[in-house]
Amino acid sequence: MVSALTRLDQLKVTTNIIYRSNRSLDKRDAIFYLDDDNTSIHIEFPTYKEDYPPVKIFMNTILDIRHKDMKEDGTDSHILQVHFLDHKDDAKVQGVIIFEDRDFRDTWEMGIKRLMTGYQKPADLVPDDYYVPKQELAIFDIKILPTSNANELMKIELEIGLSAMNTQSDIGTSVGGTDRKKVSCIIPNCPTDIGKEDFIKTNLWETLSAFIDDNTIFKAETISLYRYIRAIVVRQFMEQEVKDIVSEINAQNLKTLIDNRGEKQGGVLDDNELCLVADNRLTVLQSELPTRLLSFGHGNGAVQIKQVLTRNINKMKLMNNMVVKMAAAEA
């Protein structure tokens, strides 16, 4: 599962961003691009040409790069924090680059880190709290393993390692070595205090993102891995939900309800009343189907499953009415 985003060419196309730094805290609209020889990043301010000169960040002056996601004024902001030395005066600058699109931010982060691996920075320029990126790894294989732990949904085993080729078009050199290793990620069960939809959107994403970071895997792999695992998790949740719904439908079988009731006695529901209660419960169950099934998305045959379950509910109602009519005819 090597990412399709293997070239730096798209980073040479101007991208609209918002930029600020410790030298100027005001946010400014800017354009952002990588130069043709992959040695520096250019940030220009077309709207503020008179007041703000362009910013040029050389790869061998970057001390640290980190990503961050947050909400500002109700809008999602996908941020790259770049710590670098100004090439003009060697002053340390903390730049903040804000993207609208998280995938593109991750592509930029991956590209810059890969370029940074080609430069050796003097130790005295790297403070202890700065992170010097390692060579990021690609995913070659994924296995989904069962788990006997009730608190775990599944275990993922990934085979990761350096790409056989780091693409000539990216940084002009091939990466030697084909050593690979296997790493595992545990996907926990959905907690009872949050919905499954929220678990898939938030908890699953955070678990996989942390796993990618901890194992120095290409950031661009995050989306692909998340979508793949999400599809498997959704299928598991869907299968369990369908089993639960089928059990609830079968529980409204009038013959079963009559057998559980026993002989008719005063103050106990008769057959007609039991049938009405079962009919009402089946009606409520049918109204719950969109929420219980389609909240996972329209994939995995959710619409078709909803249609089949609706037919089963209607059949159960007809069967219950037939039981009442037959009992009345025999009386």
The contacts of residue 80 (CB under 8 Å, 6+ apart) are 65, 66, 67, 96, 97, 99, 105, 108, 109, 112
- Summarize pLDDT for 78-101 with one digit per residue, the tens: 899 999 988 888 788 999 999 988
Establish if 278 belongs to a structural domain: yes
Question: Is residue 23 located within the same domain as residue 108?
Answer: yes
First to last CA, the chain: 69
pLDDT in tens, the chain (331 residues): 334 344 567 788 888 999 999 888 888 899 999 888 888 899 999 887 777 888 999 888 888 888 888 877 777 888 999 999 888 887 889 999 999 888 888 888 888 887 776 544 444 444 444 444 456 788 889 999 988 898 999 999 999 987 643 433 333 333 344 578 999 999 999 888 888 888 888 899 999 989 998 888 887 788 889 989 998 998 888 888 899 999 999 999 999 888 887 666 656 778 888 899 999 999 999 999 988 887 666 555 788 888 999 999 999 999 999 988 887 887 6
Question: Is residue 209 located within the same domain as residue 257?
Answer: no
Question: Is residue 106 located within the same domain as residue 192?
Answer: no
Enter the pTM of the model. 0.54
AA letter at 144: I
- Give the position of tokens 């130790």: 123
Question: Is residue 17 located within the same domain as residue 120?
Answer: yes
pLDDT computed for residue 320 by the predictor? 93
Establish if 133 belongs to a structural domain: no
Number of structural domains found in the chain: 3
Question: Is residue 81 located within the same domain as residue 144?
Answer: no
57, β-bridge pairs: 41
Question: Is residue 114 located within the same domain as residue 35?
Answer: yes
Establish if 240 belongs to a structural domain: no
Question: Is residue 21 located within the same domain as residue 100?
Answer: yes
Q: Give CA–CA dist 249/292, Å, rounded.
A: 14
Question: Is residue 142 located within the same domain as residue 116?
Answer: no
pLDDT computed for residue 167 by the predictor? 39
Establish if 132 belongs to a structural domain: no
User: DSSP string covering 33-68, please?
Assistant: EE-TTSSEEEEE-GGGTTT---EEEEGGGEEEEEEE
Select from 94, 125, 156 the last residue of a domain: 125
Q: Which domain CATH number covers 47?
A: 2.30.29.30
Establish if 288 belongs to a structural domain: yes
AA letter at 157: E
Question: Domain range holding 277?
Answer: 251-330
Establish if 102 belongs to a structural domain: yes
Establish if 218 belongs to a structural domain: yes
Q: Backbone dihedral region of 169: left (phi > 0), alpha (psi from -120 to 50 degrees) or beta?
A: alpha
Question: Is residue 110 located within the same domain as residue 160?
Answer: no
Question: Is residue 14 located within the same domain as residue 120?
Answer: yes
Backbone φ and ψ for 317, nearest 5 degrees, come out as: -60, -45
Establish if 239 belongs to a structural domain: no
Percent of the chain with pLDDT over 70: 82
Question: Is residue 28 located within the same domain as residue 67?
Answer: yes
